Structure 1
Amino acid sequence: MMTAAARIRRLRWRLTALFATTSAVGLIGLAAFAIRSDDNAWSRQLNDALNLQTSRAIPLMNFDDNGRLAVQDLLDDLEAECPPVTVLSTTAGRPTIAYAPGKPCVRARTYDLEAAAARAVEEGSAIVADARSEDGHRIRLLAEPYDGPDGHSYGGALVAAADTTADRAEHRSLALLLVAGCGVLVALSAGAGHLLSGRAIRPALTALHQQERFLADAAHDLRTPTASLRSLAETALYGDAHRTAALERTVRLATRMGDLIDGLLTRARLMAGVGVLARQPMRIDQLAETVVEDTDTGEHQVTVHTEPAVVVGDPDLLRRAVANLLGNALVHGHAPARPAEIELTVTADGTVTVDDAGPGVPDTLADSLFQRFHSGSGSTGLGLSIASWIAHAHDGSLDVGTSPRGGARFTLRLSPRTKQGPASGGGSLQHK
């Protein structure tokens, strides 16, 4: 079965093919129109030139008293070295050559001349025919009938000829140029269509990728607590002696799962870009103090140092970022079986620093620490990732380094809105 991503990519190729086909049809139509117009133009121009020659010669056609064709006037008028017309007479019942130039510009075959003249006499009007010369060149013949001695019937026809080899070569060159141009333009349009279709389906692929990552996050992080929750429920169901402890652990685990689901949804909204930041001026120092007061630190010690700092941001998201940093320090910022000693600092430039006295963060893990699924024991692996996303959403940054206390230092930098003096508040407190 084809995957959703494969179907989207196949749609891209279909869009590319449709774009290229549409462009090809349009370009081919325009090229055909241009080729046809050029063919008609040079053909019409050639016919007009041939017709001019026969029209000038027809008034010079005379007959003597015996009804025989006299072409002397015509010969006197033709001053060209190669007279362009041939005179055919029908006095014998069928067109025969009565006069032919000694050195014609175009050496047409006798059969073609007689056939063109016969057709012109039969139709009673000028006709055009394409033929071959004696040397194999393509030529154009124009035959026009002239009146006979009685004035009621046609005495024959004048045939003018012109070599069309050069004109046809130019026309063929133009056609080849247009065909080649169409091929190039179709290729370019196909490439442009592929790029445009790629940009068009990119949001769909991004949304699909985000959905797959969200499902992977949910499956990865919910599998273990769900199994633990089921185990605790079975313990509470079949063991009366441990029921109270199992229920207490169940409540804690359910709370943790609620926080986990909330974190997954927050991260998914940030990745999808559907969450709109409710930006407003706020005191980041007061927010940090509130987060510490609302956090159950247990036996751990948290020291807070703040300076008044006003930033522009989303209070809910920034509260989650600070809470995630504090929660990470409470879980990982101490040695086993020893309480954590954490110091949270807010400076006037909008920087929030969380220091702990734990084992610290190795340099090899610093780059991957803010990626999903990077966690230690007892952690969902989303807290630092969400905090990093929130920092970047506020045009800030989240870095990790070594704390003067010997553990890790997480630094959340936000752009300050204004700078306030000491009189506006701030201070230091300890929380246990």
Structure 2
Amino acid sequence: MSGRRALTPTGRVRRLRLRITALFALTSAAGLVTMAVLAVRSDDARWRDQLDQAMNLDTTQALSLLRYDEDDRLDTTDLVETMDTGCPQLTVLSVPRNNSSGAVVDFAGPQPCLVGRPADVRALAETAVRREEAVAVDGRAVDGRRVRLFAEPFFAPDAEDAEGRDGAVVTLYETTEALADHRRTTWLLTAGCAVLVVLSAAVGHALSGRAIRPALTALGQQEAFLADAAHDLRTPVASLRMLAETALRGDTDEREVLRRTMRLADGMGGLVDGLLTRARLMTGVQTLAREPLRLDQLVEAVVEDAPTEGHRVTVRAEEAVVVADADLVRRAVANLLGNALTHGHAPGEAADVRIDVALTGRERREATVTVEDAGPGLPPGVADALFERFRSGSGSTGLGLSIASWVAHAHGGSLTATSGAGGAGAEGGAAGGSGGGGGARFVLRLPVDGG
């Protein structure tokens, strides 16, 4: 068996991000390296071309000063008298026409500042005559300095004379400085490529992060939904199993078992509905069907449909029209009312809930639904955590306030919880024990224009 640990879906997505980053960096590196190689080769050819052109001017001028006398012998008198041949070295060599080797020096400048190796100079002259074209090569001077040698051939006028001697003019220039400049260019291009590859990897990592963020968010939402479902369904499923075992043993009245089973089924139905609603809100699957809505009438309808037997619910509503999704706002208000009826009273006592609907804010551009009860109040320091899932107590799912908060924020509003004047419990209050008294107040704020 392999000891490797299987990657989670989130881990696989993150590994995909690393692969995308590596691919992005490798692609950028390949392009940059290719361009850098082409640039280096182009620079290398450029400086050699420029040097060859300069040497070609020298050899062409020297060729124009060469003469052949009546006996077809090479005459370098004009060259000696006219050209300053001290630096760089300028050499005229004769090569037997029928023998490509055996070059003879006919002229060499006096005391040149840069002297090529004699073997290299002769070999280059012979090559130029043999090819019948100008030739240039890299080499070294006698003192070891790097040089560029250039040879241009010339030919005896009598092509039928077997004893006639062709030849070549050879010159050379030092290339130490040019090579140093070329190396600097190469290093600069190499460093620039390295920096650009690192930057491209960073940019690729950032872009791939943005690309996979929706996938990570979706995976996180899926995992959260599964965790919610597993957490909240475990208890009612266990209760159903226990009821079934009790019924099989005949330890209780079948009608009582059926009544309890129906209550559990209703609770599980509401739980699944709440989980699906929250999942749709988180993933954006459920879009807002915004339309003008009489918020005061919606609140009154929610109170009429709520199981308020044995409790007292007072509604004080001002006419308020908002642009919102009626189904979602109805669910949010119903969750707030259900929370107050469940937790907003002491055990064995009836709940006393007051609901106010009003227009507030600057120019009355905000509608508020305030749900206040007379329960034990909020425990200290739990107000900010009330809208997290699983903040439950007294058997509730802990999703009601979370869904109400999501609905408020989806409309550009908010949901806040504070201590009230008449006392109220809450899902968080029930979970945390008795509060400080005075009840709790939940305020749902919705913009009139729908945000």
Do the structures match in fold with TM over 0.5? yes
In the alignment, which of 358, 372, 383 is matched to residue 355 of structure 1? Answer: 372
Structure 2 partner of 1:204: 215
Cα distance in 2 for residues equivalent to 1:341 and 1:271: 33
Cα distance in 2 for residues equivalent to 1:173 and 1:402: 74
Cα distance in 2 for residues equivalent to 1:98 and 1:212: 93
Query: Percent identity over the alignment?
Result: 57
CA contact (8 A) 2:88 2:173 kept: no
Structure 1 partner of 2:171: 160
* Alignment partner of 1:320 is 2:331: yes
Cα distance in 1 for residues equivalent to 2:108 and 2:316: 118
Structure 1 partner of 2:428: none
CA contact (8 A) 1:61 1:69 kept: yes
Cα distance in 2 for residues equivalent to 1:103 and 1:267: 96
* Alignment partner of 1:410 is 2:442: yes
CA contact (8 A) 1:398 1:413 kept: yes
CA contact (8 A) 2:134 2:151 kept: yes
Unaligned 5+ segments in structure 2 are 1-5, 361-366, 423-437
Structure 2 partner of 1:422: none
In terms of mean alpha carbon deviation, does 314-323 or 168-177 score higher? 168-177
In terms of mean alpha carbon deviation, does 298-307 or 83-92 score higher? 83-92
In terms of mean alpha carbon deviation, does 237-246 or 43-52 score higher? 237-246
Q: CA deviation at 1:118?
A: 1.6
* Alignment partner of 1:117 is 2:128: no
Q: Please report the TM-score for the alignment, with normalisation by the length of structure 2.
A: 0.89
Alignment of 1:386-425 (within 5 A): 386-405=403-422, 406-417=438-449
CA contact (8 A) 2:89 2:116 kept: no
In the alignment, which of 24, 49, 60 is matched to residue 54 of structure 2? Answer: 49
CA contact (8 A) 2:88 2:172 kept: no
Q: CA deviation at 1:278?
A: 0.5
Cα distance in 2 for residues equivalent to 1:343 and 1:72: 124
Cα distance in 2 for residues equivalent to 1:230 and 1:401: 40
Q: Please report the TM-score for the alignment, with normalisation by the length of structure 1.
A: 0.93
* Alignment partner of 1:86 is 2:103: no
CA contact (8 A) 1:283 1:310 kept: yes
Amino acid aligned to 1:51: N
Structure 2 partner of 1:421: none
Structure 2 partner of 1:425: none
Which stretches of structure 1, 4 residues or longer, exceed 6 Å deviation after superposition? none
Q: CA deviation at 1:394?
A: 1.0
Cα distance in 2 for residues equivalent to 1:351 and 1:186: 55
Map Cα deviations across residues 202-252 of structure 1 (whole Å, 9 max, x no partner): 110010000000000000000001111122233334427511011011111
Map Cα deviations across residues 391-430 of structure 1 (whole Å, 9 max, x no partner): 1111111111111112111111112249xxxxxxxxxxxx
How has the CA–CA distance of structure 1 residues 41 and 417 changed in structure 2, closer, same or farther, with 3 Å as cutoff?
closer
Structure 2 partner of 1:75: 80
Structure 1 partner of 2:363: none
Structure 1 partner of 2:110: 102
Cα distance in 1 for residues equivalent to 2:355 and 2:157: 124
Unaligned 5+ segments in structure 1 are 419-432
* Alignment partner of 1:174 is 2:185: yes
Question: Helix, strand or coil: the match of 1:159?
Answer: strand
Question: Helix, strand or coil: the match of 2:349?
Answer: coil
* Alignment partner of 1:191 is 2:202: yes
Q: CA deviation at 1:260?
A: 0.3
Question: Helix, strand or coil: the match of 1:103?
Answer: coil
CA contact (8 A) 2:149 2:171 kept: yes
Question: Helix, strand or coil: the match of 1:377?
Answer: coil
Structure 1 partner of 2:348: 337
* Alignment partner of 1:310 is 2:321: yes
In the alignment, which of 146, 158, 163 is matched to residue 154 of structure 2? Answer: 146
Map Cα deviations across residues 305-329 of structure 1 (whole Å, 9 max, x no partner): 1111111110000000000001001
CA contact (8 A) 1:284 1:309 kept: yes
Cα distance in 1 for residues equivalent to 2:173 and 2:118: 15
Question: Helix, strand or coil: the match of 1:195?
Answer: helix
CA contact (8 A) 2:354 2:373 kept: yes
Structure 2 partner of 1:132: 140
Map Cα deviations across residues 289-308 of structure 1 (whole Å, 9 max, x no partner): 00010011121111111111
Map Cα deviations across residues 166-205 of structure 1 (whole Å, 9 max, x no partner): 1111111111111110110111000000000011111100
Structure 2 partner of 1:282: 293
Q: CA deviation at 1:142?
A: 1.2
Structure 1 partner of 2:433: none
Q: CA deviation at 1:79?
A: 3.4
Structure 2 partner of 1:426: none
In the alignment, which of 41, 59, 62 is matched to residue 64 of structure 2? Answer: 59
How has the CA–CA distance of structure 1 residues 346 and 124 changed in structure 2, closer, same or farther, with 3 Å as cutoff?
same
* Alignment partner of 1:13 is 2:45: no
Q: CA deviation at 1:67?
A: 4.3
In the alignment, which of 283, 297, 306 is matched to residue 308 of structure 2? Answer: 297
CA contact (8 A) 1:236 1:247 kept: no
How has the CA–CA distance of structure 1 residues 162 and 124 changed in structure 2, closer, same or farther, with 3 Å as cutoff?
same
Question: Helix, strand or coil: the match of 2:370?
Answer: strand
* Alignment partner of 1:254 is 2:265: yes
Question: Helix, strand or coil: the match of 2:359?
Answer: coil
Amino acid aligned to 1:113: V
CA contact (8 A) 2:86 2:109 kept: no
Q: CA deviation at 1:81?
A: 4.4
Q: CA deviation at 1:77?
A: 2.1
Q: CA deviation at 1:123?
A: 2.0
Cα distance in 1 for residues equivalent to 2:368 and 2:283: 27
Question: Helix, strand or coil: the match of 1:158?
Answer: strand
Aligned residues: 418
Cα distance in 2 for residues equivalent to 1:221 and 1:65: 118
CA contact (8 A) 1:236 1:244 kept: no
Cα distance in 1 for residues equivalent to 2:75 and 2:305: 126
Cα distance in 1 for residues equivalent to 2:251 and 2:25: 74
CA RMSD of aligned residues (A): 1.8
Map Cα deviations across residues 73-103 of structure 1 (whole Å, 9 max, x no partner): 1112213543652011236971122211113
Structure 1 partner of 2:383: 366
CA contact (8 A) 2:85 2:110 kept: no
Cα distance in 1 for residues equivalent to 2:305 and 2:248: 34
Q: CA deviation at 1:157?
A: 1.5
Map Cα deviations across residues 343-372 of structure 1 (whole Å, 9 max, x no partner): 111113321111111111122211111101
Question: Helix, strand or coil: the match of 1:392?
Answer: helix
CA contact (8 A) 2:89 2:115 kept: no
How has the CA–CA distance of structure 1 residues 52 and 238 changed in structure 2, closer, same or farther, with 3 Å as cutoff?
same
In the alignment, which of 192, 212, 226 is matched to residue 215 of structure 1? Answer: 226
Cα distance in 2 for residues equivalent to 1:179 and 1:252: 75
